[in-house]
Chain A
Amino acid sequence: MTSSAEEIPAHDISILLVEDDPPTNWRLKDALEKAGFDVEAAMTLAEARASLQKRKPRVLLTDLQLPDGHGVELIRETRARLPDTEIMVISILGDEESVISAITVGATGYILKDAFPTDIAATVRELVAGHSPISASIARFIVRRTQSTAEPPPGPQLNTTKLTPREIDILWGIAKGFSYAEIASHLGMSKQTVPGHIKSIYRKLEVHTRGEAVFEALQQGLIKL
């Protein structure tokens, strides 16, 4: 959320926006188009799937509650079919429930529905540049899951065993409101590497689907068809 180092011109970035509430859909579309992005808007899961058959957007922005299904399905499909597409979830409150469930199926960022237009464009630009945004409350949710508890906590399941101690330290810093610069200097690393770490954290939290597991096994020659 700090620097924005975009190299790709905005009009080269194609975006598929999936949002069922028309005013919100218009508002987000306006904000992104004004920033120069190439935006295609869908209102339903079916429309989104049809669009994805035709073209490969650079960025997928999707709401979770859709009239004909759940955004999580769309994210999982897109992640499997188009690994290069950046996926962001549109959240009303930025709460753990929605954001974490999206992260575990392959999303690497989120935007708030009521965010200011400039912020929306900036977030997308940073994501394309490889900087995943993370809020203090999301970081807090993840690090609290890394602490062992007697009984499984409520909320979405999250496997944090792949996270390194350094990544957990970064998350603690974010959760407590420290800036990237402060975290970097405290952990003895470059400030520019922090956003990369965050994207890596998202990737590690992603739950690999069974299909992917089968694909990997095939690649490694463990299964013969």
Chain B
Amino acid sequence: MTDEAKPARTQISRSRSFAARLAQYVLLQAVIAALCILALRHPLHEPPSRYLAAAFTLQDRGATRAVTLPAFVPSRSGMTDPADFSTSFDWSKGGEEDAWSVYVPRFTNGIEIVVNGIEILDSRRDPSANRPDRATPEIAVIPVSLLREGPNDLVIRLYVWGPVSGFLDRLFVGPDDTLRPYYDERTLLFVTLPMVFAAWQGILAVILIVLWAARRHEPAYGMLAAAMALGAIQAFLQTTIDEPAHPHLNAALIASGPLESGFVLAFAILFFTRRWPSYAALIFVPGIVLTLIGLFGSPETLRRSFLFLGFPAIAINLLLLALVVAWSDLRKQDVPSLLLGCAVTILMTCFAHDLLSLLQVLPDRRIFFSRLSYSVMLVAIGAGLTWRFARALNRVDGFAAHLVIQLREAEEKLRASFAREQEQARAVALARERTRLMRDLHDGLGGQLVSIVALSERREDTSGIGDAARAALKDLRLVIDSMDDIGGDLMLALGSWRDRVAAQLRPHEITLHWKITPPGLPVHPELRPGHVIQIVRLLDEAVTNAVKHAGAKTITVSIATLRDASGPYGCITVEDDGKGFAPPSSGEGNRTAGRGLRNMQTRAARCGASCEVISGVTGTRVRLTLPHRFPDSEAVTA
């Protein structure tokens, strides 16, 4: 296979899978539509046929003819000329039930029921019965006093208004106890249920408004909120034959179906495609035109234009909605688009059914299911939103869990790197300490041991060996001593040094005066073993000079704290009462003394201290001035 062929192959397999998905989707929707049609064709329950009143005499616009219900009458304007349907029914006293009723399951638009010349019901007084989109049934109890033994007259006056033709379904006259359950069933289905769904729509509207207010960057929720609000408000509006407070506003709201469907379509476009093409605003045009007609035109114009503008607009909106949702489902295959897709199919089927029924194409009982099936869509919207919400929550949870894991990982890494750094720091400190120790041992012990070897090889004179060995031991003790943690208190190091000096001076019969001016020396937390060893060696050098070259009888060590502008500092003085020494190079002893002096200066410099040596015939004084702060041990090793 060549490289160019590969994408082509992928393309083919992708389009193949797309076709498969499309077929699957269409099949599913077809099944749903078929089930829907089956349900719509399923006849509603009817009372026993012995109570059926079917044969009527219709008196309409002067003409009289015999009709069998259900019957249609042409539409007309105005309330003045109803079509009269007359019949008679038999009633005998002492029958099974005394109370009889007239049950009219379906009619458009209004009826008056007249029994024996007396009107017992006017449906136009029932506001919910005046909406042609709602199949409101009516039942009227006939007062017993009105009924006569034998045949009774029944007249139904059918009022028709608007562009829709008049319709009267089969009606029943019989005992109230028998008819009422059928009436109740229809009321539940066509009056109560739409109200429940309207309430549900109102709640959805509130939820969506809150959602939109909290997420202003998602106008889709705003669109849906508008649709829901419009639907809920119009459902609770009633049409009365009396003049309402704002008749035009009322009319505009009742005709809001196209606008509502436009909002739902806009929501779908924004929600599923996340785009808003500029021509999409056209979907609101029919709705706005109808609203304007409702606000400024006559009810008659509104009804007429609703028929020719509103219905096609709703149909087109539904079709577009179905396409958008189908496209989204094929692309994303998520729960909300599938749910909404199925709901739109149901709604479209019902709408087509209603339209055919309205146009009298379909032999039908003129029951409109669009509004009722719209509730399926509401349920789908609610379920879809909840699903989205739950998924968002899961994502947040997942994100939080992911964050926790990442945090833990970062923490572990940090800890590991910290441990590594500590380890490195320890290693560096250890290496530095080792270097220092080696240098100290090399400076002191090493040299002395070499000197012992040299002395022992001379054989004829071994007198120096003891001294050299003692010096080596003394230095070993100094090195070990300097390793101890003295907590920055140089006094502790000098205490040990005093012991060693006292032991050193005893055989030479030199007196050691040790003068401490309390509290001794200041504490230096920055003091390191390297500093201690330099100071002690320097002091050793001073004492050794006094013993070896000055012939002193007394050595005085004074320790005191002095103070200047930058704070306290220590001062250690070593004085002897010997003969002093002349400037270097005047003799063997003085040369070594000179080297010792240079050593002392170097050691003092390494600690940031200064060393001052004054020598005269009455003795020598070495004055060591300690710094305010000891330099870093790096500088000492350097």
Residues of A whose CB lies within 8 Å of any CB of B are: 1, 92-96, 112, 114-116, 118-119, 135-137, 139-141, 144, 174-179, 182, 186
Contacts and interface: CB of A to CB of B under 8 A. Distances in A.
Given A93-B477, A94-B477, A116-B506, A136 B495 contact: yes
A11 to B, nearest CB: 24
Interface string B479-504: 01100111101011011111100110
Interface stretch (B76-84, B433-441, B468-476): B468-476
B477 A175 contact: no
Contacts of B498: 136, 177
11 contacts: A112-B503, A114-B469, A115-B503, A118-B507, A119-B506, A136-B498, A137-B484, A140-B484, A175-B491, A177-B494, A186-B518
A176 B494 contact: yes
B: contact size bracket: 20 to 34
A113 to B, nearest CB: 8
Given A114-B473, A178-B516, A139 B495 contact: yes
A116 B492 contact: no
Contacts of A186: 518
B514 interface: yes
Contacts of A136: 492, 495-496, 498-499
Contact of B516 (A94, A141, A177): A177
A118 B496 CA distance: 21
Contacts of B496: 135-137, 140, 177
- In this complex, the member of A114, A137, A139, A186 whose beta carbon has the largest number of chain B beta carbons within 10 angstroms is A137
Contact of B506 (A118, A135, A139, A176): A118
Contacts of B491: 175-177
B162 interface: no
Contacts of A144: 485, 487
Interface in B239-258: none
Interface string B505-540: 011000000101010100000000000000000000
Contact of B480 (A93, A118, A139): A93
Given A136-B496, A175-B491, 17 more contacts: A92-B473, A93-B480, A95-B477, A95-B480, A116-B503, A116-B506, A118-B506, A136-B495, A137-B481, A137-B484, A176-B489, A176-B520, A177-B495, A177-B496, A177-B514, A177-B516, A182-B516
B492 A175 contact: yes
Contacts of A179: 514
- In this complex, the member of B469, B470, B484 whose beta carbon has the largest number of chain A beta carbons within 10 angstroms is B484
Given A93-B477, A176-B492, A135 B499 contact: yes
A140 B495 contact: yes
A97 B510 CA distance: 31
A96 B485 CA distance: 13
A176 B493 CA distance: 7
Interface in B255-273: none
B554 to A, nearest CB: 16
Contacts of B489: 176
Interface in B144-171: none
Contacts of B495: 136-137, 139-140, 174-178
Contacts of A95: 477, 480
Given A115-B503, A118-B506, A93 B516 contact: no
A194 to B, nearest CB: 15
A140 B477 contact: no
- In this complex, the member of B469, B481, B496, B514 whose beta carbon has the largest number of chain A beta carbons within 10 angstroms is B496
A117 B147 CA distance: 153
A140 B506 contact: no
Nearest to B521: A176
- In this complex, the member of B487, B497, B516 whose beta carbon has the largest number of chain A beta carbons within 10 angstroms is B516
Nearest to A182: B516
Contacts of A139: 495
A135 to B, nearest CB: 5
Nearest to A136: B495
Contacts of B480: 93, 95
Contacts of B470: 114
- In this complex, the member of B476, B489, B495, B503 whose beta carbon has the largest number of chain A beta carbons within 10 angstroms is B495
B475 to A, nearest CB: 11
Nearest to A137: B496
A224 B93 CA distance: 122
A177 B499 CA distance: 8
B50 to A, nearest CB: 104
Interface string B369-383: 000000000000000
